[in-house]
Structure 1
Amino acid sequence: MCDKASGKSVVSPKVALPATGVALASAALESHNTVSATTVPPVGAASAPQLASVAIASASASEQQQELPTTSGMSGGGVGAAGASVASGEGSGGIQLMQPNVKDIRELCDIKQLLWGDGVREDVFKRWSQGFEFSDVEPSALVQKQGGPCAVIAPVQAYLLKIIIMDMPGIKLAEISSGKSQSLLIQALCNILLNCQTRRYRIVHILRRSSNATSSTGTTTVTTQSNRNAKPNLSSAARTTKENTPPVPPPPLTQVLGEEVAGGAAVGGVCVIPSAGAGDAAYDIEIEQGVEVTPASVIDIIQGNSSGSSNSNSNSLNDDDATGQLDMDITSQQFHERLHTIHFDDINEVARYYTENYSQLSNTFGVLVFMYSVFLTKGIEQVTADISDTSEPLIHSTYGYGAQSLINLMLTGRSVAHVWDNEQDVGGLKLRGISEQSDIGFITLMEQMRYCTVGSFFKNPRFPVWVMGSDTHLTVLFSNEKRLVSPETPSETGRRIFKSYDPEGNNFISSTMLRDVLAALNLVSEPGYVSLMQKRLDPENLGIILLNAFMDEFFPLESRSTPDTFELMHYNGIPGSNEGNKVRYYYGSAILLEGDLKSICTSNPIVTCLQTKWPNIEINWHNMHMPSLN
């Protein structure tokens, strides 16, 4: 875990859709050799939320499969292109077939490659296959079942705690209700998505198949909201909405898109949306995700007749129970075959979606689908541009831990690979780090080991919450003491700027750097004045200027915004690292000692890590239990 650079966030172009429209496109990631489509002349446009399903086929097309002509002449290359619509018997609602969003399909392929490399190891994939689950004894603490997904879980936990600290002052963490914890989780996820600084949120969703047409858990529900601007009730318990409506007759024709993707693989897809005039009705569509998408299977999707599909029993992903939990016995290939995406223009719509489809977060793959959502929302081009070097996968192929680029993306919305401030020139290469103050901080034990240098933007975040890194795991440190992140005093700014010219942490700089330091602090930096100060600060002409001498000269009345004593709390999501194998928060009382000297105690790694932020800190943990960084 170590550092990389800045740059302005790129806002992705806005696709032409209704301002409050919801575009749902399913995606496919495995190889398929048939490119087929049937064109349908456009009949009408829809203004209701847009639903698009795209199957990803993993098997080659059979020799008996009839190849259809490729779709052409469609306006708009992705979701939102006009297709054909058929009105229902009463004329109050219809189905419109549209061209699926091929861009999403391609980007999901690229994201899979970026995360896992050339192949996904099944044992590593299983370690990442978990939902967002809360502790039995600490209602707002997420549980991490195995090593690896802390690169996502710890940042999510950090944002959740940030919301509690800022919006719920004085609340007792143990008294937070289960429903409120779910609401806080959704808010935390939306905070992370907001950091991507995009105009459109592309949320990844995993399809579930039911064994019969009447199963409620095997449906994908899309509701047309009469008031799309209404804010979601984030404090309400998660729920799934479903309304039964008269069956919609299938259209006379179907449209299946086939398009080449990288490596010769192809994907087929079907797009179905409720047409204008549906009012507040919700269309429940049983989605049968087959090995191949054919005109017959399209009819099955529209009719909700999954039992009629010829491949309804192949590679099925069945629900375990009424809560919508997914079958654990699914391979990484089957997982990627069942991904699709939903587009939102408003983060409040994302929150509403997660509230009404909470099982997508709590099921076996909740962590993975959210991670894919962040990458897709950010955009693969921007992600790879920030990373620079994509030769190694972001998830270690053997140990399963996440790279610093993945951690930084979750914390800041940028996937830079380093944790120092701005750019650093290393051997002629400009390596980018953190470009601005982050909402959530980051400190790591690896800095004390001289493997990296964490910059001020991470050490001094906007809110008193820090992700803490060891050599194997990520945990979270937080406090209710908001003065820990109060604006810098002039002396603290001076100390930070001086240390930025002292990357080795020696507490001195070369006397030739004095002019640059003074200029960075907007102090007098004329050559004559600099020469005078060099002689004054380095009377023995050793060629170095000590930090203490510099501070005494330019900031003699040093003040400190940080209080001398404060309370800290620590979270570790691994049950085995907690007392009684139950994930809980641990409380401690911290004190900042006089002077800049610090002791390195290898038997107390958590204090050693804290000293990279507060060099002279000591802490006494309550109940005599010292938290673990691993």
Structure 2
Amino acid sequence: MDLGGGMSLKGIPNNVEVGFLTLLESLNLCKVGQYLKCPKWPIWVVGSESHYTVLFALNPNVQEENELEERESKIRRAFDAQDQSGGGGFISVEGFQQVLRDTDINFPSDKLEDLCNAGIIVWSEFWQALLQLDKRAGGMKDPTGLMGKKQFTIFHFNGIAKSVLNGNASAGGSCPIQRPRLCKLNVTVPPRWTQDEYLADVVSASTSSSKDDSILSLAPPGQTNQHAPLVDCIRTRWPRAVCSWVGDVPSIV
């Protein structure tokens, strides 16, 4: 991002050992790059407004992407590289042409003209067009059905002592104790968007009073959809993730 005066702001240029996620991205206050979201090891420092905690998985397969997920990541990186708005999600026509060259996307001439008519290209409109474009032309439309959901377990550790209930039979009940928290979360990531799902969710998000209303129905049978600020952080890495846990709500403060 060009800051003017010969200064520019750039992200992490290479893969890293440990990643980073932040609540501030879910609030649209900053943008974390893909290298920090997809580190070598499934370990992430999680930033809140006032504190850092740790998210980690024991199985490195949580980082694996199928062919179309890798394709989407490549396209998103190319788009972000041309985004001079500071993460606003739009690029110039010239930048868009570079994205198409870098990612081997071949839109029909009429669709290309439609996308460029406004003089800027917005990511959401670009993504909708990709969902309609066949994979063989560089799009995301996949007749083979490779875009399956993921299910995995992840752990969150907060080293600051918190009050938790501890059953104490000799005391005749439960009493609060102070201790760090380790929380196990079950995570389900639904299949990638279809065009109809995307359009339906845009409408739902614009009319709903709760950010989870459009995600609630995606929870698999038997899994309760639970929410906490940590879930917002997780969704910056795995969009539309549905999370559940047993016991105390995981805290990132």
TM-score by length of 1: 0.28
Q: Secondary structure at the match of 2:238?
A: coil
Residue number in structure 2 paired with 1:419: none
* Structure 1 residue 606: Cα displacement: 1.3
The structure 1 residue matched to 2:2, chosen from 393, 416, 425, is 425
* Structure 1 residue 472: Cα displacement: 0.2
* Structure 1 residue 576: Cα displacement: 2.3
Q: How does 1:437-516 map to 2 (within 5 A)?
A: 437-486=15-64, 489-502=70-83, 509-516=91-98
* Alpha-carbon distance in 2 for matches of 1:438, 1:485: 13
* Alpha-carbon distance in 2 for matches of 1:555, 1:437: 26
Cα distance change on mapping 1:483 and 1:562 into 2, 3 Å: farther
For the 8 Å contact 1:508–1:546, the answer to whether it is kept is no
Cα distance change on mapping 1:440 and 1:511 into 2, 3 Å: same
* Structure 1 residue 620: Cα displacement: 0.6
User: Are 2:126 and 1:546 aligned?
Assistant: yes
Summarize deviations over 1:330-352 as a string: whole Å, max 9, x none: xxxxxxxxxxxxxxxxxxxxxxx
Rg (Cα) greater in structure: 1
Percent identity over the alignment? 30
Summarize deviations over 1:18-55 as a string: whole Å, max 9, x none: xxxxxxxxxxxxxxxxxxxxxxxxxxxxxxxxxxxxxx
For the 8 Å contact 2:42–2:60, the answer to whether it is kept is yes
Residue number in structure 1 paired with 2:156: 570
Cα distance change on mapping 1:534 and 1:560 into 2, 3 Å: same
Bigger helix share: 2
Q: How does 1:516-595 map to 2 (within 5 A)?
A: 516-521=98-103, 523=104, 533=108, 535-539=110-114, 541-543=117-119, 544=121, 545-553=125-133, 554-557=138-141, 564-576=150-162, 580-594=177-191, 595=193
* Alpha-carbon distance in 2 for matches of 1:520, 1:542: 22
* Alpha-carbon distance in 1 for matches of 2:155, 2:244: 11
Summarize deviations over 1:216-261 as a string: whole Å, max 9, x none: xxxxxxxxxxxxxxxxxxxxxxxxxxxxxxxxxxxxxxxxxxxxxx
* Alpha-carbon distance in 1 for matches of 2:79, 2:30: 18
Cα distance change on mapping 1:441 and 1:534 into 2, 3 Å: farther
Bigger strand share: 2
* Structure 1 residue 621: Cα displacement: 1.0
Summarize deviations over 1:505-540 as a string: whole Å, max 9, x none: 66654433221112333x27xxxx7xx756414537
Summarize deviations over 1:36-80 as a string: whole Å, max 9, x none: xxxxxxxxxxxxxxxxxxxxxxxxxxxxxxxxxxxxxxxxxxxxx
Q: How does 1:290-329 map to 2 (within 5 A)?
A: none
Q: How does 1:314-393 map to 2 (within 5 A)?
A: none
* Greater relative contact order structure (CA < 8 Å, 6+ sep): 1
* Structure 1 residue 605: Cα displacement: 1.3
Q: Secondary structure at the match of 1:434?
A: coil
Cα distance change on mapping 1:557 and 1:589 into 2, 3 Å: same
What letter corresponds to residue 511 of structure 1 in structure 2? V
Q: How does 1:175-190 map to 2 (within 5 A)?
A: none
Residue number in structure 2 paired with 1:605: 229
User: Are 2:242 and 1:618 aligned?
Assistant: yes
* Alpha-carbon distance in 2 for matches of 1:557, 1:481: 30
* Alpha-carbon distance in 2 for matches of 1:478, 1:562: 23
What letter corresponds to residue 491 of structure 1 in structure 2? E
What letter corresponds to residue 128 of structure 2 in structure 1? N
Residue number in structure 1 paired with 2:251: 628
* Alpha-carbon distance in 1 for matches of 2:33, 2:86: 12
* Alpha-carbon distance in 2 for matches of 1:456, 1:611: 13
* Alpha-carbon distance in 1 for matches of 2:13, 2:184: 32
Q: Secondary structure at the match of 1:611?
A: helix
* Structure 1 residue 435: Cα displacement: 1.6
Q: Secondary structure at the match of 1:443?
A: strand
What letter corresponds to residue 494 of structure 1 in structure 2? I
Q: Secondary structure at the match of 2:128?
A: helix
Aligned residues: 198
- Structure 2 unaligned blocks of 5 or more: 166-176, 213-226
* Structure 1 residue 614: Cα displacement: 1.7
TM-score by length of 2: 0.65
* Alpha-carbon distance in 2 for matches of 1:439, 1:561: 27
Cα distance change on mapping 1:536 and 1:561 into 2, 3 Å: closer
* Alpha-carbon distance in 2 for matches of 1:426, 1:507: 17
* Alpha-carbon distance in 2 for matches of 1:491, 1:476: 27
Q: Secondary structure at the match of 2:237?
A: coil
* Alpha-carbon distance in 2 for matches of 1:508, 1:552: 20
* Structure 1 residue 454: Cα displacement: 0.4
For the 8 Å contact 2:55–2:156, the answer to whether it is kept is yes
* Structure 1 residue 465: Cα displacement: 1.1
* Structure 1 residue 496: Cα displacement: 3.4
Q: How does 1:150-169 map to 2 (within 5 A)?
A: none
* Structure 1 residue 577: Cα displacement: 6.2
Summarize deviations over 1:194-229 as a string: whole Å, max 9, x none: xxxxxxxxxxxxxxxxxxxxxxxxxxxxxxxxxxxx
Residue number in structure 2 paired with 1:379: none
Q: Secondary structure at the match of 1:591?
A: strand
Residue number in structure 2 paired with 1:383: none
* Structure 1 residue 425: Cα displacement: 2.1
* Alpha-carbon distance in 1 for matches of 2:228, 2:146: 26
* Structure 1 residue 578: Cα displacement: 5.7
Q: Secondary structure at the match of 1:480?
A: coil
* Alpha-carbon distance in 2 for matches of 1:578, 1:476: 19
* Alpha-carbon distance in 1 for matches of 2:148, 2:61: 6
